[in-house]
Structure 1
Amino acid sequence: MQNVTTCPSCGGSGKVVKDKCPTCHGTGYNTKKVRKTVEIPAGIDNGQCVRIREYGEPGINGGPRGDLLVEVIVSGSRDFERQDVNIFSKASISYAIAALGGDIRIKTVDGDIIYTVAPGTQTGTRIRLKGKGVPSTRNKAIRGDHYVTLVVNTPTGLSKDAKEALKKFDELSGGSLTKEGGASTDSKKKKGFMDKLKESLDDL
């Protein structure tokens, strides 16, 4: 029976260093800290790694160095929320722009853009900015979209003139301020007529 094992003295290299270097202690390499600039590719997500060639541990018996894997931690944003390659955000619009339409400035990862809001836009409306999302790390030609939820700001601290103008607007648009209990004046008139008709039938 014959057993074959690696020599504990030379580690399989075939030679033994008698006078070891006081710096490397016979390992053949020295350990030191270096500062390396890492290029982060567009579209990288939290937890993904960037590979740096030949910055890992030295190989055995003079073999090539391994690679260094740098894990990327993406910090959060107050303006944007990411889901895969798509970006989500909110944008505030005034009551006047929501009703009449107009241009607003929307913040994107590429910078601010001008978007034209359609008249009669309701709060919670979601618009799509095609191609303004996150680039794909697998295919540079593919990029996600940016979805923006529009939020209508309710005016506060109105002046006397502004309140009168708003009341006038309400009268011209249906008079919601004059409605009581969810029934309009027309509904009350209709109800009164039906009551009178019922009373006439009862008399017959």
Structure 2
Amino acid sequence: MKEDFYEILGVSKSASAAEIKKAYRKKALQYHPDKNPGDAKAEEMFKKSAEAYEVLSDPNKKAKYDQFGHAAFEGGGFGGGGMNMDDIFSQFGDIFGSAFGGGGFSGFGGFGGGGQRRVKGSNLRIRVKLTLEEIANGVEKKVKVRRKIQAEGVTYKTCTTCNGRGQVTKVQNTILGRMQTAATCSVCGGSGQILDGKPGDADAQGLKVSEETVSINIPAGVEEGMQLKVPGKGNDAPGNGIPGDLLVAIETQEHETLKREGDNLHYDLYISISDAILGTSKEIDAVGGKVRIKLEPGIQSGKILRLRGKGVSSLNGYGSGDLLVHVNVWTPKELNKEQKDFFERMQGNENFEPKPEKSDKSFFEKVKDMFS
């Protein structure tokens, strides 16, 4: 079971944003890898603290965490968890200030300790279309992606413009005195390295295009327009850089008979007058296959039957929605003489006179119940 984020940082749920930031900085400096070389436990605590801060420092993520706990971020690609050292220093490096030479540390990026910055490759974006069955149960998709990778035989050397630091320092005279500023090196793009040699199939950055099959685990309950992230499956970065990410946009295919509303599904069932009077059983569509339902004699048009747990699995892992079956009694537009004679005889018959009971809800009450 994952540890509570508030306990990791040592703050209460009512802590302010400033208190949360202060607590994280204290933990990060305590467990910083430069201060604890070779200490796997300290590195793990360093990552846990960053993961906790990533959620609690974001008002939207914090609100979800306060309501649902760790379940709010399960399923992959929706924030929280799985941070590596490069993620931590690219997002929160400013918090360390000058405690470690500007935020980075040897071997993991940043500009600290004379180390060079690790540039991240560009992200790739694809769209994946899912059926309602795949959305309801979750699915693993394998897609072919054309991404840039570092070509074999490529060699790099230290950039002479920035001396491998990835940034250049400029000193300017202003009315306030001499001001020093740092900017990304325009020659190496911030990587601290430039191309030294490359094979013929590589581009000017030492990269080549390669097709790769990527496996994407899509959790149940995703919706149209959501975006998942597959770390490290974007384009490679030149030199000793960090690969970009693969961003997966979700598209949904419309089902022939089922309509989705949140975690619930809706099905329109049309029955004849005779079926409504006598009662019957019908086979209908559901995401797990066909299901058979029983209709009691005298069922009314507009009746809603609820099949619990037959909807879409919740994205947050809190069970599944329901399948709501809307019963519609279909009235024939044309009758033969025998049928017409029968219904003419039934006009005025006491059994055919409408006698709604108190338990028979009006249309507006049904709509209210459906959305409550």
Scaled by the length of structure 1, the TM-score of the pair is 0.70
Q: Could you say which residue in structure 2 is the equivalent of 1:29? A: 207
Q: Secondary structure at the match of 1:72?
A: strand
Query: 1:146-157, aligned counterparts within 5 Å?
Result: 146-157=323-334
Q: Which has the higher helix share?
A: 2
Query: 1:131-170, aligned counterparts within 5 Å?
Result: 131-139=309-317, 142-170=319-347
- AA at the equivalent of 1:161: E
CA RMSD of superposed structures (Å): 2.9
Q: Deviations over 1:171-196 (max 9, x none)?
A: 654576xxxxxxxxxxxxxxxxxxxx
Distance 1:4 1:21 in 2: 34
Distance 1:130 1:39 in 2: 26
User: CA 1:117/1:175 → structure 2, altered by over 3 Å: closer, same or farther?
Assistant: closer
Distance 1:175 1:54 in 2: 69
> Comparing 7-16 with 152-161, which one deviates more in the overlay?
7-16
Paired residues of 2:191 and 2:238 also in contact (CA < 8 A):
no
Query: 1:1-204, aligned counterparts within 5 Å?
Result: 1=171, 8-10=186-188, 16-59=194-237, 61-139=239-317, 142-170=319-347, 172-173=349-350
Distance 1:5 1:104 in 2: 70
User: CA 1:160/1:55 → structure 2, altered by over 3 Å: closer, same or farther?
Assistant: same
Distance 1:78 1:16 in 2: 56
- Equivalenced residue count is 175
Q: Secondary structure at the match of 2:235?
A: coil
Distance 2:205 2:234 in 1: 16
User: CA 1:21/1:13 → structure 2, altered by over 3 Å: closer, same or farther?
Assistant: farther
- AA at the equivalent of 1:95: I
> Displacement of 1:148 after TM fit?
1.3
Q: Could you say which residue in structure 2 is the equivalent of 1:181? A: none
Paired residues of 1:43 and 1:136 also in contact (CA < 8 A):
yes
Structure 2 spans left out of the alignment, 5+ residues: 1-170, 172-179, 354-372
- AA at the equivalent of 2:343: L
Structure 1 spans left out of the alignment, 5+ residues: 177-204
Paired residues of 1:93 and 1:104 also in contact (CA < 8 A):
no
- AA at the equivalent of 2:338: D
Distance 1:49 1:7 in 2: 32
User: CA 1:100/1:169 → structure 2, altered by over 3 Å: closer, same or farther?
Assistant: farther
Distance 2:193 2:349 in 1: 100
Paired residues of 2:195 and 2:206 also in contact (CA < 8 A):
no
- Aligned identity (percent) is 30
Q: Which has the larger radius of gyration?
A: 1
Scaled by the length of structure 2, the TM-score of the pair is 0.41
